[in-house]
Amino acid sequence: MSDAQEIATRPASEVQAKETGTGRTAGLVLRPPADVFEDAEGITLHLDMPGVSKERLSVQTDKNTLTVEGDVQIAMPESMEALYAEVHSTHYRRSFTLSGELEPDKTEANLKDGVLTLRIPKRSELRPRRIDVRAV
Amino acid sequence: MFGSLTNFESLFDELRRMEQDVDELFGRWAAPAGIRSVSRGTFPPTNVGATANTVDVYLFAPGLDPKGFEVSVQQNLLLVSGERRLPLEEKATYYRQERFGGEFRRVITLPEDVDANRVEAKYRDGILQISLQRKEAARPRQIQVQ
């Protein structure tokens, strides 16, 4: 696997610097756990974002970056008190850097039961080609 | 009835601050842990909230079939178990595998006044919400002053 084909997360410091810059996400941000795999046609990501509905999800891509953000919405009575909590935020955010052979414009996104699946295809001319070795 | 999200955040922030204060006072290691408590990072992450009438448990368990959950209540213990299958793509190269896969089981200790006979569970957007009614006798009652 060459370096160019690697899909890598940004350095944490870079992302955090951005987050504290905006007032909205100055609090805690959840980093959704991800599975990332590559096959001949492209790269697939699965991200766990429980509590996020389609309306509260944002997937943004530019040439180099993929950013996923979402907000948890839970119906909850006003008078509710927290007895115990392991999830301390309602905002998810995570970014990945992309590489040149991918086509982020053609990203397909699918959200089901709190799992976001993203499929980023490779440019067809850059897909690995299988070379047959002939016996002479 | 929909509490605002900011409200929810501040609620848990407050709890976290309290927790930190307690940690500082007694030191992490000296404080006795609940006999059924688990280490952080156990799947699925769980929040518990309470009102005067109900206790609500939120399990952040995405990508599961709602029929696959096994939920039972024994007095004030809530047991939730299930299995999350994450099939591997055979012809793919994996770079990251951070998501939880496999069997899970959690036991959550609830306040003692929950009614084990009146429990509802629903699954939406990957969160399993279990609502338990509190017993009538235990609810605070408003007393009219004549």
Same-domain check for residues B65 and B132? yes
Cβ of B93 within 8 Å of Cβ of A39? The answer is yes
Number of domains in chain B: 2
Interface ipTM: 0.73
> In this structure, what CATH number is given to the domain that contains residue B120?
2.60.40.790
- Note the pLDDT tens digit of each residue in A3-54: 333 444 444 444 444 444 343 445 689 999 999 999 989 999 999 999 999 9
B68 and B28 in a single domain? The answer is: no
User: What is the domain extent for residue B3?
Assistant: 1-32
Cβ-based neighbour number of residue A27 at 10 Å: 16
Q: What is the pLDDT of residues A57-85, one digit of tens each?
A: 999 998 789 999 999 988 888 888 888 88
State whether residue A110 sits within 8 Å of chain B by CB.
no
Instruction: Residue A5: name the closest of A131, A135, A122 by CA.
Output: A122
Q: Residue holding tokens 């009438």?
A: B53
- Give domain limits for chain A: 7-75+84-123
- What is the distance, to the nearest Å, from the Cα of residue A55 to the centroid of all Cα atoms in its chain? 16
CB contact under 8 A, A74 and B11: no
The verdict on residue B5 lying in a domain is yes
SS3 A18: helix
Which residues are within 8 A (CB) of A135 and not within 5 positions of it... i.e. 6 or more apart?
Answer: none
Is B144 among the domain residues?
no
Residues B44 and B63 in one domain: yes
Tell whether domain A7-75+84-123 is in CATH 3.40.710.10: no
Which residues make Cβ contacts (< 8 Å) with residue A126, sequence separation at least 6? A101
Provide φ and ψ at B5, rounded to 5°.
-65, -35
Domain annotation covers residue B143: no
pLDDT for position A125: 79
Residue A58 tokens read as 């944002």
Whether residue B62 is found in the same domain as residue B105: yes
Q: Is residue B92 part of a domain?
A: no
From the list A34, A52, A88, which residue is nearest B12 (CB)? A88
pLDDT digits (tens, 9 = 90+) for B10-69: 666 777 777 767 666 555 555 566 676 666 668 999 999 999 899 999 999 999 999 999
